[in-house]
Amino acid sequence: MPDAPVLEVRGLTVEYLTDAGPVRAVERFDLDILPGEFVGVVGESGCGKSTMLFGIAQLLSPPARVSEGSVRFRGHDLVTMTDRQLATTRWRDLSVVMQSAMNALNPVAQLGDQFADAMRAHGERSRATIRQRAEEVLALVGIDLVHLKSYPHQLSGGMRQRAMIAMALLFNPDLVIMDEPTSALDVVAQRSLMLQVKQLQQQLGFAVLFVTHDMSLVSHFSDRLVVMYAAKAVEIGSTKEIFANPGHPYTEGLLDAFPSIRGPRLPLTGIPGSPPNLLHPPVGCRFAPRCPKRFEMCDVEPPFYDAGTSRAACHLHALADKKVVQ
Amino acid sequence: MRYLLRRLAFFVLTLWAAMTVNFALPRLMPGDPASAMMARFHGRVNPEAIHALEVAFGVDTHQSLWAQYGSYLGNTATGNFGISLTYFPLPVSTEIAQALPWTLGLIGVATVMAFLAGTFIGTVSGWRRGGVVDSVVPPVFVVTSALPYFWVGMVLILLFSVMTNGLLPNDGAYDITMTPSLTPAFIGNVVQHAILPAATILITSIGGWILTMRNNMVTVLAEDYVRMGRAKGLSNRRIMYQYAARNALLPNLTGFAMSLGFVVSGAILVEYVFNYPGLGYMLLNAVNNLDYPLMQALFLMITVAVLVAVLLCDFVTALLDPRTRGA
């Protein structure tokens, strides 16, 4: 029997309360993450992927709130936890790396102090231990120890992002949630950072939930892939298989929007149209209005079909007599 | 360190410019203190006396402008501002030395209190955005800060002095029947006299601090590092003060420095309404009596006070915001 999942998300729904009524930015989202697994989440800007992450980490701020669903982390539901219970689990077992390293560090505190306050918040009192651990994690990401005394503005973007990752590893967490940690970096820095994350992950064994809009980035690093469109997951499966054989027309569209380096030169097609307004989402399949393969069944909301190597929410698989799962 | 030196150099330069303008302005105006003095005595002064006055006031027009400028700079540096016309023949510096402590004590303390209380209330209401404090306090104080100083002062006098049979004194800095001393009775009397004018300043100036601090808090709370603080499992208290308020305070420091600088000019209207013997009241008298030496000294003091306050603010900013240090 495989290990129990470290994270089980069931039916997670996040709503933004707006003047025009509640907008569902994440709708009935399911996800399991096994210990040590690297799960990538891709989708266009505004598809709800970052909201989903913060919904899992319970870091939403009003007007966003989790309206339904559960997030079981190591067996306990984070959604129903009190702030105090959350505070003990946070960082020790579940840490977060934010999108913009520029703004995720407190600009008026030295790096070392920002490491220390996290450790003190979890009961570590000894200055020597704090200092030693801070030095260990900085060494892990290859940042010179003098920077414990540095302020965030004195570091480059790449260094700040690595410092964030170092901070996320202070307690050897079971799961690190990363919200587009590389989007502010150039491609070279992106790659070296990702290699480092991957290496640390193999070394320390934490699981990663990684959100990005960059398909080529996840293709190299993630074990499993979740494709999101208009607040919903549309395809879930092994990254390799999805790249080789996408089960959803939206995934196909995303893949066609990126050039292949070694393959034949093909014109990039991209996806026509724009994502729907989530205040009034389309009835049935949300991708149907932009889908080149739509047909009559698309007026009904598609369930997940077993598309062989992945699970995909597209009625095309019904035509191929694939089974509905879950 | 280079930052501080640069600020210091800038301070000296501005000070010199201000002193020069202060020197030039009266000399560009028609008339001079000596003729004004003569007018006060209805011309019953002989020419020798006028010359003596001119020398006393430092407006000896027989000297070259450069020589006058030189002696002006020297006199200013040594605190010799000449003789007051209003309080003739007392030196201006003596007059100012008498009024300064009252203004610093009343307006200074009230300004600092307004800043501290306003910042705290703004922090809390920004943190609990949409809560009870946030829905009641800022709107109320926005209204009170739009009221004119003197009107609030008069209403307070009406409520707490006239209609309550002199519950609180409304005139002067202390009971004139008492001899100034450091006894508890006299200090208590001074505090009693300060309550109404201080309340006037608090009521009218706290709203600005509450509103700006609240808005800064709301902006800062949306920053990623605040969310990061939550993700790290820090206590709300620590996030509120060390992460949010600590950063939200920075833009308000400059405004606070400016208002500290203007303490010296006194809240003229407040001091006038309460007959408070401070610099604001003195400035008003000086203008009414065409007391050029006193005016000149007061203007210079106001300028210097603002400059010193801004310099201090630069130092404090450097202390609180590491980003300004490297520049």
Indicate the DSSP class of residue B91: B
Per the CB < 8 Å rule, is A59 touching B223? Answer: no
Residue B248 vs residues A152, B127, B222, B228, B253: alpha-carbon distances, Å: 17, 11, 11, 16, 10
pLDDT digits (tens, 9 = 90+) for B58-105: 666 667 778 888 888 888 888 788 777 777 778 888 888 888 888 888
B326: nearest CA partner in chain A: A154
Angstrom distance (rounded) from CA B194 to CA B276? 9
Confidence at residue A101, expressed as pLDDT on a 0 to 100 scale:
64
User: Which residues neighbour A84 within 8 Å (Cβ) at sequence distance 6 or greater?
Assistant: none
Confidence at residue B37, expressed as pLDDT on a 0 to 100 scale:
66
E-state strands within chain B: none
- Phi, psi angles (nearest 5°) of residue A256: -70, -15
Residue type, A76: H
Walk across the sheet containing A64-73 and list its strands.
Answer: A21-33, A7-18, A64-73, A76-77
Both tokens assigned to B26: 């009266």
User: Which residues neighbour A244 within 8 Å (Cβ) at sequence distance 6 or greater?
Assistant: A309
Domain ranges of chain A: 7-222
Would the pLDDT of B164 be above 90? no
Across the range B117-122, mean pLDDT stands at 93
Question: Could you give the 3-state DSSP secondary structure of residue A162?
Answer: helix
> Is residue A101 within 8 Å of residue A184, measured between CB atoms?
yes
Per the CB < 8 Å rule, is B232 touching A121? Answer: yes
Question: Could you give the 3-state DSSP secondary structure of residue A294?
Answer: coil
Residue from B134, B224, B323 to probe the interface with A (highest A Cβ count within 10 Å): B224
Our CA-based measurement puts residue A254 at a distance from the nearest CA of chain B, in whole angstroms, of 29
- Rg of chain A over all Cα atoms, to the nearest angstrom: 21
Beta strands A232-238 and A310-312, pairing class: antiparallel
> Is residue A27 within 8 Å of residue A69, measured between CB atoms?
no
Angstrom distance (rounded) from CA A185 to CA B37? 74
Angstrom distance (rounded) from CA B240 to CA B234? 10
Our CA-based measurement puts residue A107 at a distance from the nearest CA of chain B, in whole angstroms, of 8
Q: What is the DSSP string of B133-160?
A: HHHHHHHHHHHHHTS-HHHHHHHHHIII
CA neighbor of A289 nearest in space, from A300, A273, A277: A273
Helix residue ranges, H only, B128-245: 132-145, 149-157, 184-221, 224-231, 236-238
Our CA-based measurement puts residue B97 at a distance from the nearest CA of chain A, in whole angstroms, of 41
Question: Could you give the 3-state DSSP secondary structure of residue A51?
Answer: helix
Is the Cβ of B322 closer than 8 Å to some Cβ of chain A? yes
Residue among B224, B322, B326 whose CB faces A100 most closely: B224
Say which CATH class B100-325 falls into: mainly alpha
Contacts of A118 in chain B (CB under 8 A): 232-234
Q: What is the mean pLDDT of chain B?
A: 84
Burial (0-12, 13-18, 19+ Cβ within 10 Å), A131: middle
- Phi, psi angles (nearest 5°) of residue B163: -80, -15
Confidence at residue A1, expressed as pLDDT on a 0 to 100 scale:
44
Angstrom distance (rounded) from CA A6 to CA A37? 9
User: Which residues neighbour B80 within 8 Å (Cβ) at sequence distance 6 or greater?
Assistant: B91, B93
> What CATH topology corresponds to A7-222?
Rossmann fold (3.40.50)
Confidence at residue B199, expressed as pLDDT on a 0 to 100 scale:
92
Angstrom distance (rounded) from CA A179 to CA A50? 6
Total residues found in chain B within this entry: 327
Confidence at residue B33, expressed as pLDDT on a 0 to 100 scale:
63
Angstrom distance (rounded) from CA A119 to CA A121? 5
Both tokens assigned to A76: 């306990």
Angstrom distance (rounded) from CA B166 to CA A202? 80
Would the pLDDT of B242 be above 50? yes
Our CA-based measurement puts residue B242 at a distance from the nearest CA of chain A, in whole angstroms, of 9
Helices and strands (DSSP H and E) totals, chain A: 11, 12
> Is residue B37 within 8 Å of residue B294, measured between CB atoms?
no
CA angle B246, B314, B254 (to 5 degrees): 65
Low-confidence residues of chain A: pLDDT under 50: 1
Angstrom distance (rounded) from CA B291 to CA B36? 8
Contacts of B229 in chain A (CB under 8 A): 106
Angstrom distance (rounded) from CA B45 to CA B258? 44
Our CA-based measurement puts residue B113 at a distance from the nearest CA of chain A, in whole angstroms, of 25
E-state strands within chain A: 7-18, 21-33, 38-42, 64-73, 76-77, 94-97, 175-179, 207-212, 224-229, 232-238, 305-306, 310-312
Residue from B134, B225, B240 to probe the interface with A (highest A Cβ count within 10 Å): B225
Indicate the DSSP class of residue B161: I
Per the CB < 8 Å rule, is B238 touching A59? Answer: no
Angstrom distance (rounded) from CA B322 to CA B250? 11
Our CA-based measurement puts residue B234 at a distance from the nearest CA of chain A, in whole angstroms, of 5
Per the CB < 8 Å rule, is A88 touching B233? Answer: yes
Confidence of residue B55 (pLDDT cuts 50, 70, 90): low
Q: At what angle do helices A111-121 and A157-168 cross, to 10 degrees?
A: 20
User: Which residues neighbour A57 within 8 Å (Cβ) at sequence distance 6 or greater?
Assistant: A78, A90, A94, A96, A177, B231
User: Which residues neighbour A258 within 8 Å (Cβ) at sequence distance 6 or greater?
Assistant: A215, A216, A268
Confidence at residue B326, expressed as pLDDT on a 0 to 100 scale:
63
Domain ranges of chain B: 31-80, 100-325
Angstrom distance (rounded) from CA A322 to CA A304? 10
Is the Cβ of B242 closer than 8 Å to some Cβ of chain A? yes
* Matching residue, tokens 């998300």: A9
Confidence at residue B186, expressed as pLDDT on a 0 to 100 scale:
87
Cα atoms in the 13 Å half-sphere on the side-chain side of A278: 18
Both tokens assigned to A36: 């040590």
User: Which residues neighbour B205 within 8 Å (Cβ) at sequence distance 6 or greater?
Assistant: B110, B111, B114, B118, B145, B259
- Phi, psi angles (nearest 5°) of residue A323: -80, 150
**Beta partners for residue A43, in sequence order:** none
Would the pLDDT of B156 be above 70? yes
B148 Rama class: left (phi>0) / alpha (psi -120 to 50) / beta: beta
pLDDT digits (tens, 9 = 90+) for B167-226: 888 888 888 788 778 888 888 888 888 999 999 999 988 989 999 999 999 999 888 888
Is the Cβ of B127 closer than 8 Å to some Cβ of chain A? no
Alpha-carbon dihedral sign for residues B253, B259, B264, B270: negative
Residue among B223, B231, B238 whose CB faces A57 most closely: B231
> Is residue B197 within 8 Å of residue B111, measured between CB atoms?
no
Note if the pTM is more than 0.90.
no
